[in-house]
A = this chain, B = another copy of it.
Amino acid sequence: MTPERLRALLDDVAAGQIAPEAALEALSRFPVEDLDYAAVDHARPLTQGQAEAVLCEGKSPEQVEGICRALADATGGFLATRADAAVQACLAQAFPEAKVNPRGRTVWLATNPSLPITGRGTILVITAGTGDLPVAEEAAVTAAVFGNTVARLNDVGVAGIHRLLRKSDELRQAAVVIVCAGMDGALASVVGGLVTVPVIAVPTSVGYGAAFGGVSALLAMLNSCASGVVVTNIDNGFGAAAAASRMNRL
C-alpha cells in the first residue's frame, strides 16, 4: 500500500467513485496480512518509504511464492532477493512477467504502470573485481526497483589504480556511490577520498583463506581512513541500495 495508492483510494471514496464498503475491503489487509507462516507488512511503504522485499534464503519456494502473491495482490509487484535456482524457477512460473536476474539472484515483478524515477541523482555501483558482480547486480536491481537511475563501473580495484582514476567523471556525476569489494576492501577508502557524496561500502565474500568469507573486507571498510564511508553486511547489495535510495530521496 503505497502512499499514492492510499491517497487515490481515499480520493475515490470522497468523490463517490468507490463505495466505502469496497474501500474497506481494499484496506482489509492493511497494515498487516497474516499468512500461516508470515505477517506481510503492507504498511512498509508508509513507514520506511519502500515496499517490503522478500529475502528468499531460509524460506521454501512455496512460502516465497505465497508472500510474493500477497505483495503482488496489494501493490502490483514485488522484489525477491537471494533467490536460488529453485525459487527463481518457482517464481518465474507463477509470475511470467517477472524479471529473473540469475547473476544477482533477484526476481522482480514491476508494478504496472511501473513506479516513476523519484530519486534525484544517479546511484553509481562500483566493483573492485569481476567476482563482486553478483552483489553489484543485486544492488543495481534494487536501486532501480526503488525508483532510482543507476550507473555502473566494473573491475576498478586498486591493484591497478589507473583503472579507477581514468573514470573520475563517472565518480563526480554520482549522487550516491556504492562500492562492492572483497578481499582487502581498499577500493572503498580510495573512492571515499575522491568524492564528496555519500559512499556505501559493501564487503563481498570474494576471496579465500584469511578473507574469511568477507570479514577482511568488512573490517577494512569499517576502519576506512576516508571519513564518511558507511558499511553494510557482507554481500548485502540489497541493503546498500535501500540505503542509497533513502539518501537519494532526501
Minimum CB–CB distance for A205 against chain B, Å: 7
Note all chain B residues with C-beta closer than 8 A to A232.
222, 230-231
**How far apart are the CA atoms of A44 and B203 in the complex, in Å?**
25
Q: Are A189 and B192 in touch, CB under 8 angstroms?
A: no
- Tell me which of B43, B185, B209 contacts A205 (CB under 8 A): B209
Q: Is the CB of B222 within 8 A of A231?
A: yes
A204-B203 Cα distance, complex, nearest whole Å = 21
Of the candidates B43, B131, B163, B233, the one whose C-beta lies within 8 Å of that of A222 is B233
Distance in Å: Cβ of A50 to nearest Cβ of chain B: 7
Q: Which residues of B contact A162 (CB under 8 A)?
A: 31-32, 43, 47
Chain B hits for A224, CB < 8 A: 159, 183-184, 186, 239
- The answer to whether A223 and B246 have CB atoms under 8 Å apart is no
| A230: nearest chain-B partner, CB-CB | B230
A147 at the interface (CB under 8 A from B): no
Cβ of A247 within 8 Å of any chain B Cβ, yes or no, is yes
Q: Are A163 and B41 in contact (CB under 8 A)?
A: yes
Are A189 and B184 within 8 A (Cβ)?
A: yes
Chain B nearest CB, measured from A238 CB (Å): 7
A186 — nearest CB in chain B belongs to which residue? B186
Cβ of A89 within 8 Å of any chain B Cβ, yes or no, is no
Cβ of B207 and Cβ of A223 under 8 Å apart? yes
Query: Which 5 pairs of residues, A with B, have the shortest CB-CB distance?
Result: A209-B234, A58-B131, A49-B196, A186-B186, A216-B219
26 CB < 8 A contacts A-B: A31-B160, A32-B163, A38-B130, A38-B154, A38-B155, A41-B163, A47-B194, A49-B196, A53-B227, A120-B250, A158-B193, A158-B226, A159-B192, A159-B226, A175-B250, A184-B188, A205-B209, A207-B223, A209-B214, A209-B218, A209-B236, A211-B219, A220-B220, A227-B242, A228-B239, A228-B243
With A39-B163, A158-B225 given, can you name 16 additional A-B contacts, CB distance below 8 Å?
A: A37-B130, A38-B130, A57-B131, A63-B130, A159-B189, A159-B225, A184-B220, A200-B230, A208-B235, A209-B214, A209-B235, A211-B219, A216-B219, A227-B238, A229-B243, A230-B232
